[in-house]
Structure 1
Amino acid sequence: MEKIRQGSLYGEAAQRIRTMIKDGRLKPGTRVPEKQLCEQFGVSRTPLREALKVLASEGFVELLPNRGARVVKLTRRMLKDTLDVMSALEGLSGELACQHVSSEEIDTMRHLHEQMITHYENGDLAAYFEVNQRIHETLVAAARNEVLLETYNNLNERVRRFRFSQEMSPALWEQVVGEHEQMIAALENRDSEQLGRILRGHLKHKLDRVAVDDTDSDELAS
């Protein structure tokens, strides 16, 4: 692994650890190997521990008194609570986007939507989920609200592996495509009420997958 160059050492270290958690190289519930990461990144313990403080504030790790840090386990209850909040944020972002979105951004989302369909039909689910995520990120950015964008991105980082990696049945696939088409149409019409309603319901199929058991101890499979 390439060593970190001088600059914001803890910021770069935080980004690398964040990526390692999201792609599964650091598993939920495991200790963060500080010594090993210091050697890989070419940094001392001080910037690494500052990075872990940042990640703890974002919900990626929990700090253990005098014992370093551990990757947070995402329980069904935590996931449901997070998706509840994200659903509300996406609804608000849609309402605001109708006031501020440009024609170019709408064209971008429609193009991404067409790409998403092509990737799914070709069986390239990794590309499908990547484009799906970009559609939602573009829409939230179009709200022109920095606080909303930062809050949404922080929450999305926590649950992205679950939200954008689940297998879908043909019926669910048709539902997702239909909702995306409705979203873009409402955005083109600047119908804030309709778009907000669609977006608040868009995560329902994800919430339904975790609504069976809300116990804090019910850990999700990674």
Structure 2
Amino acid sequence: MKTNVIEIDQGDGQAPSQDRKASLAQSLRHRILSMELAPGASLDEVALAEEFGLSRPPVRELMRQMAAEGYIELEANRAARVASMNFDSLRNYFLAAPLIYVATTKLAARHATKAEIDGLKRIQEQFRAAVEGNVVDDRVLENDQFHFAIGKMAHNPYLLPSLCRLLIDHARLGRTFYQPRDERMDSELAEAVQQHEDIIDAIERRDAEAAGAVVLTHVNLARRNMASYVTPEGVTVPVEF
């Protein structure tokens, strides 16, 4: 399974504190996106500090940072928890997703550089390989990287934070879409791969309207399966939005 966890070399002593803090951040993000840590799960600061050789203050600082990013939730006098996924949060996700994906993709078609488009093509190659290799975690993570890259290509500092927050729940919900359960879902996964190619083509042609139309179709394709099939522990899936 592909991971983004930074290896720690403790050879003749521990790695610098910042390296260990970065490793903890990468590990927590991966555990949350992969659903290894379920929505609403409590996070033990003491255990995490011991696991990564850190004192409590940098762990608390990281928790505040990740709460600002949307990965976890903090409340007074309670342990930090993985961001929940309930009726309200999922309803808000499905309402916001089309708006944000369309906006960022249309702007990417207007502002992306050739180097950025080339980078998007490389990510798409990795995504296609993950789909063909039948590795669910890699499918989810490469899809996340694909849409994040488009968000950066939009060159809009107001939209990118919203997209990053959206991608957290997209990754968690997407584990169902990227693990097909029947022939129809297999077919739709192949369709999603082609839609990525069509998005790249529209961006490269500077056709913002076409790019927006394709990504809207792409979002709706995934939405049907996410809403119908996703039932991870801790999640209550609304029937209608």
TM range (shorter): 0.7 to 0.9
Aligned partners of 1:12, 1:114: CA distance in 2, in Å?
27
CA root-mean-square deviation:
3.2
Q: CA deviation at 1:141?
A: 1.6
Q: What is residue 147 of structure 1 aligned with on the other side?
A: 158
Q: 1:87 is aligned with what amino acid?
A: P
2:124 to 113, 118, 130: 113
Q: What is residue 156 of structure 1 aligned with on the other side?
A: 167
CA contact (8 A) 1:140 1:149 kept: yes
1:183 to 2:177 alignment = no
Which stretches in structure 1 are left out of the alignment for 5+ residues? none
Q: 1:117 to 1:19 in 2, by over 3 A?
A: closer
1:46 to 2:63 alignment = no
Q: What is residue 78 of structure 1 aligned with on the other side?
A: 89
Q: What is residue 197 of structure 1 aligned with on the other side?
A: 213
Identical-residue share of aligned pairs (%): 26
Q: CA deviation at 1:10?
A: 6.7
Q: What is residue 236 of structure 2 aligned with on the other side?
A: 219
Q: 1:114 to 1:60 in 2, by over 3 A?
A: closer
Name the structure, 1 or 2, with higher relative contact order (CA <8 Å, separation 6+).
1
Q: What is residue 76 of structure 2 aligned with on the other side?
A: 65
Q: What is residue 112 of structure 2 aligned with on the other side?
A: 101
Q: CA deviation at 1:191?
A: 0.9
Q: What is residue 147 of structure 2 aligned with on the other side?
A: 136
Q: CA deviation at 1:150?
A: 2.8
CA contact (8 A) 1:4 1:43 kept: no
1:30 to 19, 31, 41: 41
What CA deviation, in whole Å up to 9, does each residue of 1:72-100 have, x standing for no partner? 33125423422432331221112211222
The count of residues paired between Structure 1 and Structure 2 equals 217
- What's the TM-score once normalised by structure 2's chain length? 0.72
Q: CA deviation at 1:195?
A: 0.9
Q: 1:15 to 1:113 in 2, by over 3 A?
A: closer
- What's the TM-score once normalised by structure 1's chain length? 0.77
Q: 1:72 to 1:184 in 2, by over 3 A?
A: closer
1:155 aligns to what SS in structure 2? helix
Q: Please, which moves more after superposition, 147-156 or 157-166? A: 157-166
Q: 1:134 is aligned with what amino acid?
A: Q
What CA deviation, in whole Å up to 9, does each residue of 1:35-94 have, x standing for no partner? 212222333333322322333333333334323222233125423422432331221112
Aligned partners of 1:94, 1:55: CA distance in 2, in Å?
26
What CA deviation, in whole Å up to 9, does each residue of 1:89-135 have, x standing for no partner? 22111221122222333334344434433443343444444433332
Which stretches in structure 2 are left out of the alignment for 5+ residues? 1-6, 9-13
